Amino acid sequence: MECVLTPGKSFSEAELGRLYKASRSPVREACRRLEAEGLVRITPFRGYAIAPLSVSEFHDLQEMQLIFEPAAAALAAERANEQELAEMRELAKYEYRVGDKQSYREFVRTNLQLHCLIAESTRNRRLFDVVGNIHIRLMRFFYLGLSFEPYGPTLVAEHIRLVDAICSRDKDAARHNATEHITKAIERSATVLMGAIRFGEAVFEPAPDSEHAPLRLGAAVRRV
């Protein structure tokens, strides 16, 4: 999910085994699990490929956030235990340092942990699986060039408001704050995405087999 392997790149079990020093059986099982999560594509008799990124997928994932995460926040306000609440408070406070790439990558991981912890605290395993998959797939976009560096203080403030509502056991406020956070994230990402295209930080290419296929985020993307 950190895009060490470029989206769209083909690979074999042997190549992946050499890269991670693993035998073919665990590599094959890992690839099957990654296929189920939408991160790897398996083509019979041809091998594997890292799932490409597309603008339509990014938009779909954000819509799913808007459907599932406000409900998760409301349930978390009712069901989270004190240890989970304390951990949420700590995660919500993390702010990356602008210009520090390692700090930004740590923020992306912390963001994943916070949103997944909120979902986990609902005690609804299916909801946790859905939210976790959404954020793991979104992380690929953030690692490959969609940087939210200018929004650090804003993101932290939104996270803190969300967690404060959950800790206050106010399910309506938690639902509202989660909806507001995701809606603003969608607005910010639209600006960041268009900026990336304009300044060449992301390269989008049409799929070769269809004139109307979703746009692909190509291998020339700048890493962050």
Q: What residue spans of 3-100 are helical by DSSP H?
A: 13-20, 24-36, 55-79, 82-92
Q: In what order do the strands lie in the sheet with 204-206?
A: 53-54, 215-217, 204-206
Q: How many domains does one find in the chain?
A: 2
In a domain, 137, yes or no: yes
Please say whether the dihedral angle defined by the alpha carbons of residues 12, 216, 155 and 95, taken in this order, is positive or negative.
positive
Same domain, 38 and 142: no
Is 80 a residue whose pLDDT tops 90? yes
In a domain, 213, yes or no: no
Q: Domain of 173: which CATH number?
A: 1.20.120.530
Residue among 66, 65, 68, 73 at smallest CA distance from 170: 73
pLDDT score of 51: 75
Domain that holds residue 38: 1-51
In a domain, 60, yes or no: yes
Same domain, 132 and 47: no
Confirm if 177 and 88 have CB atoms less than 8 A apart.
no
| C-alpha distances in Å from residue 12, one per residue of 84, 95, 220 | 40, 39, 22
pLDDT per residue as tens digits for the range 86-136: 999 999 999 888 777 788 888 889 999 999 999 999 999 999 999 999 998
The residue with greater pLDDT, 214 or 44, is: 44
Q: Domain of 27: which CATH number?
A: 1.10.10.10
In a domain, 214, yes or no: no
Residue with token string 């020093």: 21
pLDDT per residue as tens digits for the range 134-164: 998 888 777 665 556 577 788 899 999 999 9
56: its two tokens: 């339509």
